[in-house]
Chain A
Amino acid sequence: MSEKSEQQRLSVFKTYKLYVGGKFPRSESGRVYEVTDSKDKWLANAPLSSRKDARDAVVAARKAFGGWSGATAYNRGQILYRVAEMLEGRREQFTREVADAEGLSKSKATAVVDATIDRWVWYAGWTDKIAQVVGGGNPVAGPFFNLSSPEPTGVVAVLAPQESSFLGLVSVLAPVIATGNTAIVIASEKSPLPALSLGEVLATSDVPGGVVNVLSGRTAEIATPLASHQDVNAIDLAGADDVLAKELEIAAADNLKRVLRPQPVDNVDWSTTPGLDRMTAFLETKTVWHPTGSLGASGSAY
C-alpha cells in the first residue's frame, strides 16, 4: 500500500458509552462532555449521565444481585479471573488510555496497567477464601453450633478515585464485586475513558449484566441521587472531596446505608497491597445458632 493511500484512510473514532445492565446505552439525557488528556488536548466525548441513568443502573444492579450473590464463590472467582484474562488481551489499549489520561510515559503506564491486572487477579483469588478468614465457628456457652459467615451487603454505589483512573478504579471495584455485591461505579470525572473501556471487558468475560454498571459524568450530579436512593445499600466515597463526602454521608443516613469514607490511601498510593478492609467494608455477618441436641449425663449427644 502506498504512503498516499494510507494517509487517505479515515480513522474510526470510538463512541464511548455507558455500561448498564450488560448493555451499552448512551446517557438517557443525550448529553456528552469533552474528555481531554493531561495537556488539555481533546480525546473523546464521554456520556454525561443524569440522575435517571443512575436510577436505571440501580434497577439493573438490584436485578443482578440475586444471581451474583447466589453464585458459588468458586464460580465468582473463575469469572473474575476471566476478566483478568480479557484485560491482558487489551493491555495496549489500556496502556494508551491510561497514559493519555494521567500524563504518564508509556513505560510507566504499562506498569500501572500490569499492576491493575495483578490487582484483579489478587481479588479473584479471595472470593472463596474470605469466608474462612472473616467467618467461622464461634465458641458459645450452650449446646449449640454457632457459625458466622460473611454475606454481601447488596447494591453498592462506588465513587471511583479521581486521579488514578484505572488502578484506583479496579482497587475499589474488585473488592466490592468479589464478595457478591453488585456495583454502580461513577468513573473519574476528568478521566473516565479507562473505566468505560473496562465495561467492554466485563461484557465479554461472563460477568452477568448488571453486576457492574459504569456511569461517567459529573460525580456530584450522579452521586447525590445514589446516596439518597432507598434501594442502594452502601456507598464508597473514594472519589469524593471533603465537601461532597460530607453531603453524601448525610444523604446516605436516611436508609442507614453503609458508608465507606475516603481512606488515607485514596489520594496517595494505590500500589500497596490492599488488605481485606475494602472487602469487609461491604460484608454483613450472618450468624446461625444450631442446637446440638440434648446433653446427657455423659456429655454431648454427639
Chain B
Amino acid sequence: MPTTASPAHSLTDVAASDSTLRRFLHGLPGVDAVGLEARAASLGTRSIKTTAKAYAIDLAISMVDLTTLEGADTPGKVRALGAKAVRPDPTDRTTPATAAVCVYPDMVTVAKEAVAGSGVKVASVATAFPAGRAALDVKLADVRDAVAAGADEVDMVIDRGAFLAGHYMKVYDEIVAVRETCGTSARLKVIFETGELSTYDNIRRASWLGMLAGADFIKTSTGKVAVNATPPNTLLMLEAVRDFRAQTGIQVGVKPAGGIRTTKDAIKFLVLVNETVGEDWLDNHWFRFGASSLLNDLLMQRQKLATGRYSGPDYVTVD
C-alpha cells in the first residue's frame, strides 16, 4: 500500500467518454469474495472491553446520523429527534452529541430549528429517495430545495437501473450535476444501495464511480431494502476510499446505513475502519452510521459501563 499520493492527473481522463469510463471500471481488479468475507468476519471477532469499549461507544455515538425517513414523519417527531441528537442521554451530560439528523427535504427547516446552535448537522436525502426513479430535473429540484432549506449534507441515491444496464456515464453525469447543485455549502453523500448491485465487483465499481464524480461520502444503502450495510460490503468500500486517496490524495468518507442495531455491530464496523483505513477516518467528518435504533443500544451500553448494572429499554426514548 503506497502511502504517498501519486499525481491526481492519472485519473483525469477516465471520465472523458463512456468507453474510457467503462474501460476503467471494468479494469478494476475483481473482488475475492471469499477472502473479503473471511477478512470481515475475522475482524468481527476482536474483543473490545473496558476503556477501549467506552471510547468506541462514545465515538460511535458521535458518528450516528440519527435518521427518520418515514412517510409518517411529523414536525413533532423531527423535533423530538433533533432534541435527542443534541443531547442523546439527558441524564448524563458527558454523552457526546450525534453527528447529524437525517430527514426528508421537506423536514429540513424543522430539523434546522431543532438542532440550531448545537453543532449537530442536518442531512437530507434527495434525488427521489429511495428509488431514484425520476427525471434529472426533478432530482436536481429536490436537491435545490434541500440545500435552500439549509441542509448541511445531501444524501443522494444513484440510478441503479442505469448502473446495472452499464450506462456508467449517465450515473456519473448525474452525480456531477448533483454535486454542482450542492455547491460549496453542502457535502454530498452518494448512496449505492449495495443490496441491489448484486455483486461485490459492482460495489467496487460503484464506489470508484462515485468518488471520481466528486462524492464527499460513499454510503452503502437507503435502509429500505432487505440487505443493507454488511461488514463485507463496508470493508470493500473502505478499501476503495483507501486506494482512492493513495492515488489522488483526496479523502472520501464512508457511511454504512441500515441494519446496524447493536453496539456490538457498531464496534465491529469501527474495527474495520481502524484496520483498513486507519485513524484518519476515525472521526465523524469521515465516518458515519446511518441508524435510528442503534443509538438506544449505544446509550444502554454506556449506562451499563457507567453504573455496572444492565440498563433496559425503559430508560431510553421510544422513537
Contact = CB atoms under 8 A, between A and B. Distances in A.
A232 B314 CA distance: 10
A162 B313 CA distance: 32
Name B's interface SS: loop
A230 B311 CA distance: 5
A229 B312 CA distance: 8
| Residue with the greatest number of chain A CB neighbours at <10 A, chosen from B309, B310, B315 | B310
Interface residues of B, number: 8
A231 B309 contact: no
Contacts of B313: 62, 231
A251 B307 CA distance: 12
A254 B307 CA distance: 11
Name A's interface SS: helix
Contact of A225 (B310, B312, B314, B315): B310
Nearest to A230: B312
Nearest to B315: A230
Contacts, number: 27
Interface in A212-269: 225, 228-232, 251, 254
Interface string A186-197: 000000000000
A232 B312 CA distance: 8
A278 interface: no
A251 B308 CA distance: 11
A228 B310 CA distance: 7
A65 to B, nearest CB: 11
Interface in A20-52: none
Interface string B296-318: 00000000000011111111000
Contacts of B309: 225, 228-230, 251, 254
A228 B313 CA distance: 15
B296 to A, nearest CB: 12
| Residue with the greatest number of chain A CB neighbours at <10 A, chosen from B308, B309, B311 | B309
Contact of B311 (A62, A231, A251): A231
A77 B152 CA distance: 57
A58 B309 CA distance: 13
Interface string A50-79: 000001001000100000000000000000
Interface string A145-168: 000000000000000000000000
Nearest to B310: A229
Contacts of B311: 230-231
A55 B301 CA distance: 12
Contacts of A231: 310-314
Nearest to A224: B309
A55 B312 contact: no
A52 to B, nearest CB: 10
A230 B315 CA distance: 8
Contacts of B312: 58, 62, 229-232
Nearest to B308: A228
Given A229-B312, A230-B310, A230-B315, 5 more contacts: A58-B312, A229-B309, A231-B311, A231-B313, A231-B314
* Smallest CB-CB A-B distances: 4 pairs: A231-B312, A228-B309, A230-B312, A229-B310
27 contacts: A55-B310, A58-B310, A58-B312, A62-B312, A62-B313, A225-B309, A225-B310, A228-B308, A228-B309, A228-B310, A229-B309, A229-B310, A229-B312, A230-B309, A230-B310, A230-B311, A230-B312, A230-B314, A230-B315, A231-B310, A231-B311, A231-B312, A231-B313, A231-B314, A232-B312, A251-B309, A254-B309
